[in-house]
Amino acid sequence: HILVLDVDLAVPFSPLGILHTLGLKPEYAVASSGRQPWPTAFGSFLTPYDLNGFREQNTPKTKGLEVWHQRFCSIAPPGERWHSECDALSPSHLVAILWNDRRRLPDKEDFYPVKSAFNGAVLYPVKLIQESGAVYDNGDGQRCEHVGFHATIGKIKTVLVNRKWDMHLDPNFPGGAAWGR
């Protein structure tokens, strides 16, 4: 396995979450469930970290959110800087992320399927990367690199998020560029 970790996060990488993933879903690419406090919410609203790397597996209940999100992101043409920011700013994208993160699944289901997610860390089986031929790719230069990588892996096996592999970002050191660190 290969662990891809956002090393500029001020967070322990949660070894029990890694063991839980390896014990239950060793053949899947599995993202952590990293959390960050929402700015200006004074710690009362926690969302998954890395909104740019998330793409949900649409269901009939959520297809409308994807349509709204695509319209929101189409404000500017492909290749514009807007396309790297629209995922983090889109209200419908945030609702889709929260719905996936908080929905009730069958009893004891700690994992949920996505097209892509990062949330601070992903554990990849080496064999899955080799078989899929996945490479980090940012599409038009304004797409999160994890999205292209997971799209290729997803052709062979679904990407998952492990709710129990939980890492909480320090509000004093939010995710993103490591300014001054």
Quick: pLDDT tens for 46-55. 777 777 888 8
Residue 20 has pLDDT above 90, yes or no: yes
Q: What is the pTM of this model?
A: 0.85
Residue matched to tokens 């959390």? 35
> Which range has highest mean pLDDT (19-23, 40-44, 45-49, 175-179)?
19-23
Q: Output the CA angle 7-173-103, nearest 5 degrees.
A: 80
Residue 21 pLDDT > 90, yes or no? yes
CA angle 180, 144, 25 (to 5 degrees): 105
Scanning the structure block, which residue is given the tokens 């926690």? 46
pLDDT in tens, 94-109: 888 888 887 766 666 8
